[in-house]
């Protein structure tokens, strides 16, 4: 379980890949070279705070495409497009022309429907517990309750039932890719060596990579001068706490309105050209460890910390976590919900002081780490599957998570310690291996989805509007 053996993560509801370059996803869950997300992007799934449903009159619905006898309607394309526009605007990006964006969204919906159909045909299932977990994850990324999330979705014309069905479809598509694509990808030592050679040869100003900490204090689109001043003061207050020696992650959790704020605000190491230009310009002359800001954008006020900066593509430091877990593997006789109920009972026993986590791991865990009391040792960001890592990032030392569903089964996770460490050569190679694997996964998935698209019957009807 320690190594990030099979990872693509839950695709966001904009579909297979982002339509345009976007800023950041959850801390540590680095998007791949093609930008494929690792977790549901809360900003995409959920209208930003203050957003309201479009006041434009709804046209009579009509079919824009048929995929293996299943229709895609104009309203589906329109509503998905509106959500993409909201996310781009909330991140200060430039919105593409409406006609181009609608066509791109339609293509993504076609690919999504093909994957869901294939998953169902091959017997892949997603039970309600996994949907509940995904739903809670989206609410948590937005720092709101599930009920408030449903209210905001309803205001944007998305019912609770439809939202949960979209989540279920995304989980179905994810599990299909895990089975048909990810299990086939391997990375050799020779490929790691080749990547390192290429990085050294290509190192230069254009190859800068950054890992930034990010705090966003949002400013509503139509905010007046008084509200802008109030939000600016809040940003200055957050900056002052960091400059006074406060922990950046703790300040991010308290002040940030960005989805990654709940996980300490770290955006993950990535090429500089995959960050907003505003962020790159603001931190260009800053040294590692420096904090800059507040920097104003259409979205609000940003505070940025330079966590790592490298020209070689290989990070030199990382915030590492030391965790242990109990894993129950699901099967025909043990559903995800049943496994979660058993793990909740074990969690309660530890909380009451009547049991030791390590002892329970040795007795119940079905992972190879069971003999060590579930101990996974120290791990850098990106070493665990996304669902596991998101839950781990949300914990404080000593805390135990609620049951977490992943492709391996259902986990109970305890964070023991967290540290900022200089990476050893082996740890750097492990992170490079993850990077190479992600690139190969992107290539394998692109081939796989093209083949699936070629086998599908797709009929275009009237153009979306």
The answer, yes or no, to whether residue 144 has pLDDT greater than 70, is: yes
Q: Which residue has the tokens 């850098």?
A: 380
- pLDDT in the model for residue 204: 55
- pLDDT in the model for residue 369: 94
- pLDDT in the model for residue 321: 93
DSSP E strands: which ranges in 208-349?
209-218, 270-271, 291-297, 300-310, 317-328
The answer, yes or no, to whether residue 6 has pLDDT greater than 50, is: no
Q: How far apart are CA 89 and CA 48, in angstroms?
A: 9
Q: How far apart are CA 309 and CA 339, in angstroms?
A: 42
Threshold 0.75, pTM exceeds: no
- pLDDT in the model for residue 31: 32
Q: How far is CA 422 from CA 2, 121, 287, 305, 359, in A?
A: 19, 48, 16, 17, 32
Say which DSSP state 365 is in.
-
Q: What are phi and psi of 292, to 5 degrees?
A: -125, 155
**How would residue 59 be classed by pLDDT, with cut points 50, 70 and 90?**
low
- pLDDT in the model for residue 23: 28
**How would residue 316 be classed by pLDDT, with cut points 50, 70 and 90?**
confident
- pLDDT in the model for residue 425: 76
The answer, yes or no, to whether residue 3 has pLDDT greater than 60, is: no
CB 48 within 8 A of CB 437: no
Q: What is the share, in percent, of the chain residues with pLDDT greater than 90?
A: 37
Task: Give 202-224 pLDDT, tens digit per residue.
Answer: 655 556 788 899 999 999 888 88
- pLDDT in the model for residue 138: 85
Q: How far is CA 68 from CA 111, 122, 239, 452, in A?
A: 12, 15, 54, 12
- pLDDT in the model for residue 53: 47
CA-based nearest residue to 386, from 174, 204, 243, 242: 174
Task: Give 30-49 pLDDT, tens digit per residue.
Answer: 333 333 333 344 444 555 45
The better pLDDT of the pair 92, 408 is held by: 408
Least confident window among 67-76, 90-99, 346-355: 90-99
Alpha helices in 184-276 (DSSP H): 189-202, 225-243, 248-255
The answer, yes or no, to whether residue 115 has pLDDT greater than 80, is: yes
Mean pLDDT for the stretch of residues 47-70: 68
Q: What is the share, in percent, of the chain residues with pLDDT greater than 70?
A: 85
Tokens linked to 87: 């996310």
The answer, yes or no, to whether residue 21 has pLDDT greater than 60, is: no
The answer, yes or no, to whether residue 25 has pLDDT greater than 80, is: no
**How would residue 269 be classed by pLDDT, with cut points 50, 70 and 90?**
confident
Q: How far apart are CA 428 and CA 448, in angstroms?
A: 30
Least confident window among 190-194, 238-242, 266-270, 406-410: 266-270
Tokens linked to 11: 């695709």
Q: How far apart are CA 225 and CA 235, in angstroms?
A: 15
Least confident window among 8-17, 59-68, 164-173, 260-269: 8-17
Q: Across the chain, what does the average pLDDT equal? A: 82
CA-based nearest residue to 187, from 432, 450, 447: 432
CA-based nearest residue to 37, from 61, 18, 60: 18
- pLDDT in the model for residue 277: 87
- pLDDT in the model for residue 7: 26
Q: What is the dihedral of CA 382, 384, 385, 389, to 10 degrees?
A: -80
Tokens linked to 27: 């801390």
- pLDDT in the model for residue 140: 80
Pairing of the two strands 317-328 and 375-379: antiparallel
- pLDDT in the model for residue 43: 40
Of the ranges 119-133, 153-167, 337-351, the best mean pLDDT one = 337-351
**How many degrees, rounded to 5, is the angle at CA 42 between CA 41 and CA 44?**
70
- pLDDT in the model for residue 407: 86
């Amino acid at each position: 379980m320690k190594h990030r053996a099979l990872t693509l993560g839950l695709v966001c509801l904009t579909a297979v890949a982002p339509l345009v370059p976007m800023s950041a996803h959850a801390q540590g869950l680095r998007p791949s070279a093609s930008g494929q997300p690792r977790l549901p992007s809360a900003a995409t799934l959920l209208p930003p705070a203050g957003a309201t449903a479009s006041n434009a009159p709804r046209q009579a619905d009509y079919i824009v495409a048929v995929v293996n006898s299943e229709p895609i309607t104009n309203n589906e394309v329109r509503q998905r497009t509106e959500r993409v526009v909201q996310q781009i605007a909330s991140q200060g990006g430039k919105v593409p022309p409406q006609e181009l964006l609608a066509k791109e969204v339609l293509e993504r919906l076609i690919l999504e429907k093909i994957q869901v159909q294939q998953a169902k045909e091959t017997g892949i299932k997603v039970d309600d517990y996994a949907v509940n977990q995904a739903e809670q994850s989206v609410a948590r990324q937005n720092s709101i309750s599930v009920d408030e999330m449903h209210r905001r979705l309803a205001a944007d014309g998305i019912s609770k039932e439809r939202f949960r069905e979209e989540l279920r479809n995304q989980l179905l598509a994810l599990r299909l890719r895990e089975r048909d694509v990810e299990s086939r990808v391997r990375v050799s030592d020779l490929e790691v060596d080749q990547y390192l050679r290429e990085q050294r040869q290509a190192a230069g100003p254009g190859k800068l990579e950054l890992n930034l900490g990010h705090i966003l204090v949002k400013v509503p689109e139509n905010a007046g001068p008084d509200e802008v001043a109030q939000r600016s003061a809040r940003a200055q207050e957050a900056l002052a706490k960091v400059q006074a020696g406060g922990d950046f992650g703790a300040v991010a959790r308290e002040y940030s309105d960005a989805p990654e704020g709940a996980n300490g605000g770290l955006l993950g190491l990535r090429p500089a050209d995959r960050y907003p230009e505003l962020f790159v310009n603001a931190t260009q002359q800053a040294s590692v460890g420096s904090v800059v800001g507040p920097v104003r954008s259409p979205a609000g006020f940003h505070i940025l910390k330079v966590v790592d900066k490298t020209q070689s593509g290989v990070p030199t430091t990382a915030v590492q976590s030391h965790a242990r877990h109990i894993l129950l593997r699901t099967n025909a006789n043990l559903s995800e919900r049943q496994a979660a109920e058993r793990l909740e009972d074990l969690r309660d026993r530890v909380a009451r002081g009547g049991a030791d986590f390590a002892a329970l791991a040795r007795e119940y865990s079905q992972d190879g780490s069971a003999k060590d009391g579930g101990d996974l040792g120290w791990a850098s960001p990106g070493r665990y599957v996304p669902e596991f890592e998101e839950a781990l990032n949300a914990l404080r030392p000593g805390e135990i998570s609620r049951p977490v569903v992943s492709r391996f089964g259902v986990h109970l996770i305890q964070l023991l310690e967290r540290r900022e460490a200089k990476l050893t050569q082996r740890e750097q190679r492990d992170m490079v291996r993850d990077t190479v694997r992600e690139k190969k996964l992107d290539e394998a998935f692109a081939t796989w989805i093209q083949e699936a698209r070629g086998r599908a019957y797709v009929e275009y009807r009237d153009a979306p509007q």
